[in-house]
Amino acid sequence: MVAAVVAHGSSVSGGYFGDDYEYFAIIRSLTSWKEIWTNSALLPQYYPITFTTLLVQDWLHGPSPFPHHVFNIALHAANSSLILLVLRRLTPRTALLSALVFAVHPLFCESVAVIAQRKELLATAFAALSLLSWCEWIGQPRPFLLFLTLAFHALSLLSKPILIGGLPFLLLVAGLGQDDRRRIAATVPGLAVLLSLVSGWLTLSYESAQIRSDAKLGIDLTSRANLALTTSSAYLAHTVFPFDLRVYYPMWELQRWHLFSFPSPLVPPALLASTLIGRKRWGWTPAVSVAFYFLTIAPVSGLAEFGLLSLTFVSDHLAYPAVLGIVSAIAHIAWCEIRSAPVRRSVGAVAAAICLAASIQRSSVFGEPHGALYATLRADPNSSAALFTLGTAMVHEKQYQAAANYLERAVQLNGSFSDTFNQLGVALWKTGRREDAKAAFEQAITLNENIFALANLGRMRLEEGDYAGATEALRTAVERRPAACVWRTLLAESLARTGHLRDAVAVLNGCENSYSADLPWQLFRVSLLLETGADAAAESTLGELIGRFGERKELVTLAARAELQLGNTAAALSILDRAAEVHPGDADIRNLKGAALASVGRFDEAVLEFEAALRLAPDSESVKENLQKALADVAARSGNP
């Protein structure tokens, strides 16, 4: 654990990176943690365990990324200890070295330093606990341990299904030879496989629904096999030679077999064959370890032409924890080949020291603001992926001119990625280049019917008063993502501006169970209900909102309006009396209370409220007008006009 903290500790000063912005934008729009589990439409992927931990920490610590980085580092350190315990059961002779290299390997810096990659860390932690429970059952068969084995496996899959193949395989291998419990030893891995298949199918189905079918690459099975093998070879190279590691790597040509290139698709099958051939000399451990690596890396290698898995970007975080198999295989072969114990220890110490030094250096890069992206661009100035990520980060940080510069370079290098055009449109919009922004949004929509570009284009048109165009774009975006309540609110506003108030209410009603069901849209919805005469519905909704959000000014004033429209003046005055106590310096509340008193002929009291409101807001024309009218009513009643 200490080695892991030393290796990755310098990344604790890093900020947000990549997917962090999107993840935290989502969780900060939630009204309940339950929505993570019950409303998968709000998540970019259905990883409820991961998002729940992010949400809880955000509630506890606020927007600072520091506690999240601390948690990731601590979780990786805990994983290293859990893996040591697992390997002591499976490969005791090389367990310490393998776990140590795992703790300090620079290939894992991205998984630890990027908050959003907590999903790999959590999945690995639960998978290790599942294996430990299984190994405990092998030594001491108790039914509760079988339950823990499957429960931890399920939690691993709900964090991220990265071990849908690797973990059931290890469970099966660990259970071999249990003659007296052969049926259970085969059944539990079988159930684990079933859980993995269900989780994999749900994940792929969900991610496939996020993009249009014609956005896939459409490459044949042979080319996908080439892609998968080349990807596996690349991760092997990064494991054995952990230098010049980047956030993004240049992509190779997908359609051709470069057998003798580096990395070569020949390397993975050659490695597996060599471990099988050498099993008499080395035993089964290297072959099992390499098989675990391939089974774990396969889902993200580009082999599947399905949903977002149709192409891999060869991101190092995807190798966590798969390359543990390669580390374990190399450590075991070295132990078998090196006969001298002092030499073994020396070689292991040197390997760990090299990894530790490289990891400290790489973690320090992640500890600088956008340091990893700048390092990638220094190595490859034409990395469109790095330019896109950096430009997107600048958009989130409201550095729009810098964002536009990076994103314009990105689209020049790669004009086929719709998200780049969408982010470029936002940056251009915020820098005043509205026509260029519209062109960027329209290009994103043309490439892949990008729903975020549709929503942004609708927002721009709404600002410009083009309500018909705004309604068209926003309606399409809402149809594609019904749970996006922010977009529903914009659509409702566009409809309301053109007099379609009941349609606007119907649109907002779809937000009631949405992840963005926050106070602003609720207030807007109540205002529309009042305008359309649905006073009772508005009153009921406001009662629920006051119980949920407290006696906020916006809520109590709307509640008083609803009571007045229902003719319940006494109830309205009671609400406003309480509101005046809670918000003693608010002129709007005193003004509304004066209007309520005037509506029932209590003009003297109304004048006092209007005068109090005028003292609080001496420039308010509305208060002045109401005061003059109330004074006139008092004079008329007394017969002194």
Taking domain 533-641, whether its CATH number is 1.25.40.10 is answered by: yes
Planar angle of CA 11, 15, 18, nearest 5 degrees? 100
Token code pair at residue 412: 């020049």
Q: Which range, of 117-126, 128-137, 571-580, averages the lowest pLDDT?
A: 571-580
The per-residue pLDDT for 497 is: 78
Answer whether 488's CB lies under 8 Å from 514's CB. Answer: yes
pLDDT tens string 404-432: 999 999 999 888 888 899 999 999 999 98
Query: In the prediction, which pLDDT does 517 show?
Result: 44
Q: Which amino acid is at 141?
A: P
Asked whether the beta carbons of 111 and 300 are under 8 A apart, the reply is: no
Q: Domain boundaries in the chain? A: 533-641
pLDDT in tens, 469-490: 999 999 898 888 776 777 877 8
pLDDT at 75 over 90: yes
Lowest mean pLDDT among 39-48, 131-140, 444-453: 39-48
The confidence score (pLDDT) of residue 257 equals: 63
81 pLDDT band, cuts 50/70/90, is: very high
Region 432-461 average pLDDT? 90
Name the pTM for this structure. 0.75
Q: At what angle do helices 501-509 and 519-531 cross, to 10 degrees?
A: 140
Q: Quick one: pLDDT at residue 211?
A: 47
CA 186, CA 138: separation in Å to the nearest integer?
12
Token digits for 119?
A: 């999903």
**pLDDT range class, residue 595, cuts 50, 70, 90:** confident
Mean pLDDT of the chain: 81
The per-residue pLDDT for range 250-281, each reduced to its tens digit, is 666 555 666 656 677 888 888 888 888 888 88
Task: Compute the distance between CA of residue 284 and CA of residue 329 in angstroms, rounded to an integer.
Answer: 10
The average pLDDT across 13-20 equals 83
Q: Which residue has the higher pLDDT, 556 or 144?
A: 144
Cα–Cα distance for residue pair 541/31, rounded to 1 Å: 16
Mean pLDDT (whole number) for 589-604: 86
Contact between 35 and 92 under an 8 Å Cβ cutoff? The reply is no
What is the reported pLDDT for 589?
A: 85
Which token pair is 416? Answer: 């086929």
Mean pLDDT of 96-101: 92
Per-residue pLDDT of 201-224, as tens digits, reads 666 555 555 544 444 556 677 777
Share of the chain above pLDDT 70, in %: 80
pLDDT score recorded for residue 545: 67
Find the range with the poorest average confidence among 32-36, 184-188, 314-318, 533-537: 184-188
Find out whether 532 and 500 touch, Cβ atoms under 8 Å: no
Segments in 178-220 forming alpha helices (H): 182-209
The pLDDT value recorded for residue 376 is 84
Find the range with the poorest average confidence among 45-49, 72-76, 182-186, 397-401.
182-186
Q: Is the dihedral of CA 444, 445, 451, 453 positive or negative?
A: positive
Report the pLDDT averaged over residues 616-629.
85
Q: Residue 515: what pLDDT?
A: 38
pLDDT in tens, 156-207: 988 988 888 787 878 777 766 555 445 455 566 666 666 666 666 666 555 5
Give me the pLDDT at residue 213, please: 40
pLDDT in tens, 378-393: 888 888 888 988 998 8
DSSP codes, 497-553: HTT-HHHHHHHHHTTTTSTT--HHHHHHHHHHHHHTT-HHHHHHHHHHHHHHH-S-H
> Predicted confidence band at 514 (pLDDT cuts at 50, 70, 90)?
very low
Q: Find the mean pLDDT for residues 461-466.
A: 88
How much is the average pLDDT of 106-111? 90
Rg (CA), the chain: 31
* Average pLDDT of the residues in 57-72: 88
Q: What is the mean pLDDT of residues 621-630?
A: 85
Mean pLDDT on 342-350? 89
Q: Given a cut of 90, is residue 71 above it in pLDDT?
A: yes
Nearest alpha-carbon partner for 128 in 185, 86, 78: 86
Contacts of 107 (CB under 8 A, 6+ apart): 235, 238, 239, 242, 245, 316, 319, 320, 323
* Helices and strands (H and E) in the chain: how many: 33, 0
Q: Nearest Cα to 459, choosing from 443, 432, 438, 431?
A: 438
